[in-house]
Amino acid sequence: MQISAKELSNKFHGIIEGDENILVHAPAKIEEGFEGAVSFLANKKYEKFLYDSKSSIIFIDKDFDVKQKPNATLIRVDNCYKVFSQILKYFELAKTRSRIGIEEGSHIDKDATIGQDVYVAAFAYVSKGAKIGNNVKIYPHVYIGDDVVVGDNTVLYSGVKVYTDCQIGKDCILHSNVVVGSDGFGFAPKEDGAYEKIPQTGNVIIKNGVEIGANTAIDRATMGSTVIGDGVKLDNLIQVAHNVEIGKNTVIAAQTGISGSTKINKQCVIAGQVGIVGHITIADGTRIGAQSGISKSVSQPLTILSGTPAMSHKESLKSQAVYKKLPELMGKLRTIEKQIEALNN
């Protein structure tokens, strides 16, 4: 796919300096540019690459002071960094949208519903009653269970498994080996010490604009639904247990585990390797540092927490400072003990 400077400028409300007809077909770092590449300059540390970059088009901020004429065509925009993230998305979508059709070796049940411009790769399996929206891309070894719903423009990469009755919204991306709708971890202890499995009868509802990283597992609800809200971004290797609810535009980094029936509200930021107990609520805009342990509800919006057990981030930093001094304090304590013992003798 190729696009001209004029088309890019119109699309992102830019001002062209140079050849408006020059074509590009791929993004590249400004220092690694090549003919046909589009790059950006948002950090002045990289200005030295602007003037001799081999990229054909370079995006810069409207107020950027250019010291000399570069070889590339420039497009000035209001927020270069933000615009270029949209450009990267544009090229990525162009690659996936080019895939259309049903490949030989895939299976689509006769009772499934398939939208327009769908791609189903070889070895993918679409079960009875599934409803696949328009422009959905289903890569090899994807399994879609009975009565699953997949919304328009969603991409399911190789190895994704979506169990029976689960729902995935529009414009979602599920990376390789994501599992949606596996059984929640529910077992009742028996008198003989063994455990009896509690049937997990609910489903998972993933709303619109969600991205889920590789090898993340989202368990179905015991009853009702596990819910992932609009715009949520989950990293790789995250465990979301049964009946969890994650609010709109919350982001969670890798290796975090969320126990059952916990409700995380909107616009929270949760770093890697955080452990969250079950049956609690976390308020809007909460920020949680890496490797924190959350053992109780967070009721105050915009709270910042860290540590195990988690506490106010400022208090956590104070505690860390004291912890570092423990050997020194222990030495002083022993000295005082000896002095007291000498006085007593």
The rounded distance, in Å, linking the Cα atoms of 21 and 4 is 5
The single residue listed with the structure tokens 């919350």 is 250
For 21, residues 6+ apart whose C-beta sits below 8 A from its C-beta are: 4, 5, 6
Q: Does the annotation mark 25 as catalytic?
A: no
Query: Taking the C-alpha atoms of 117, 121, 124 and 128 in order, what is their torsion angle to the nearest 10 degrees?
Result: 20
Provide the β-strand partners of residue 59. Answer: 40, 75
Convert the chain into a string of H (helix), E (strand) and C (coil): CCEEHHHHHHHCCCEEECCCCCEECEECCHHHCCCCEEEEECCHHHHHHCCCCCCCEEEEECCCCCCCCCCCEEEEECCHHHHHHHHHHHHHHHHHHCCCEECCCCEECCCCEECCCCEECCCCEECCCCEECCCCEECCCCEECCCCEECCCCEECCCCEECCCCEECCCCEECCCCEEEECCCCEEECCCCCEEECCCCCEEEECCCCEECCCCEEECCCCCEEEECCCCEECCCCEECCCCEECCCCEECCCCEECCCCEECCCCEECCCCEECCCCEECCCCEECCCCEECCCECCCCCEEECCCCEEHHHHHHHHHHHHCHHHHHHHHHHHHHHHHHHHC
Distance in angstroms between the alpha carbons of the first and the last residue of the chain: 90
Question: Of the listed 13, 25, 107, 242, which one is catalytic?
Answer: 242
Residues identified as active-site: 242
